[in-house]
Amino acid sequence: MEEVIIERKERKLVIPGEELGEGRAGRGAYYEDGKVFSKLVGLAENRDNLHFVIPLNGIYNPKRGDGIIGKVVDISFSKWIIDINSPYQATLALNEAVDEFVDLNKTDLSKFFNYNDLIFAEIFSMSRTKMIQLSMKDRKCRKLRGGRVVHVTSAKVPRIIGKNGSMVEMIKELTGTQIVVGQNGIVWVKGENEDVAIEAINVIDEKSHMQGLTDHVKTMLTEKMKNRSLVKHVHTEEDADNNKKHSEEEENSY
């Protein structure tokens, strides 16, 4: 079974003026006397000593029809409880998850989705009290196996996707990765160059209002993939030279 690596930093609720630590000040934070402090009420996060604060109104607010990435946190008799990166948990009923008949007296639901499994699902029903029900009926919905997960600000998801999917398609094409973006601020990435794709996603999350962002990301990805290709080429040549040398040594030993 492939394990999903979750790139998640701890977030804590902070108030204006609260110290966040040493490092650099990102959005929602300011630098003073060698320390970084919060500008507002929100959730503080630290990425490589870059401190920023997500305002509480930036927390994911579920809407019917949203495609989300969630994690199975509990299993009951006929449904799964799903963490959707929101103040509200969601449920996935058996009849919205599988098409086949299932005898609940004889079947363990973990056969389909187990604890900590990640899924891409759709919000198909939500009550006024925020009771959320998910569905896996759409062909895009599935279990996400392996890969890595990164959390972004849900309000920045449209920027990560881009107009008609242009931004995310560019990242996929240049890095050769599979990418699934959840409207709830969770992005799943799988492929040989996951780290490069995730770096690009984080840049978009942090610089979403930057003018010329698409060109900036494209240039960054092109350079990184070019350098990676050169390194791989050098290693391939070194391996070929070593193999040739080894063969010659074996021939000379007879």
Q: How many domains does the chain have?
A: 3
Tokens 């021939």 locate to 251
Give the pLDDT score at 88: 86
Give the pLDDT score at 253: 52
DSSP 86: S
Measured between alpha carbons, how far is 161 from 168 in angstroms, rounded to an integer? 5
254 domain residue, yes or no = no
Joined together, the tokens standing for residue 184 give 């709830």
Same domain, 126 and 185: no
For residue 36, the enclosing domain spans 8-58
DSSP 113: S
Give the pLDDT score at 40: 87
Q: Can you give the pLDDT of all 254 residues of the chain as single tens digits?
A: 566 665 555 678 899 999 999 999 988 899 999 999 999 888 898 888 889 888 876 788 899 999 999 999 999 989 999 999 888 889 999 999 999 999 998 999 999 999 999 999 999 999 988 899 999 999 999 999 999 999 998 989 999 999 999 999 999 999 999 999 999 999 999 999 999 999 999 999 989 889 999 999 999 999 999 998 876 655 555 555 555 555 555 555 54
Measured between alpha carbons, how far is 254 from 250 in angstroms, rounded to an integer? 7
Taking the whole predicted model, whether its pTM rises above 0.85 is answered as no
DSSP 192: T
Measured between alpha carbons, how far is 31 from 21 in angstroms, rounded to an integer? 10
178 domain residue, yes or no = yes
Same domain, 154 and 203: yes
Residue that is last in its domain, among 34, 58, 82 = 58
Measured between alpha carbons, how far is 123 from 26 in angstroms, rounded to an integer? 32
179 domain residue, yes or no = yes
Same domain, 133 and 166: no
Give the pLDDT score at 1: 59
Same domain, 26 and 78: no
Q: Where are the alpha helices (DSSP H) in 142-212?
A: 157-161, 166-175, 194-206
155 domain residue, yes or no = yes
Q: Which of 34, 68, 32, 36 is nearest to 53 (CA)?
A: 36
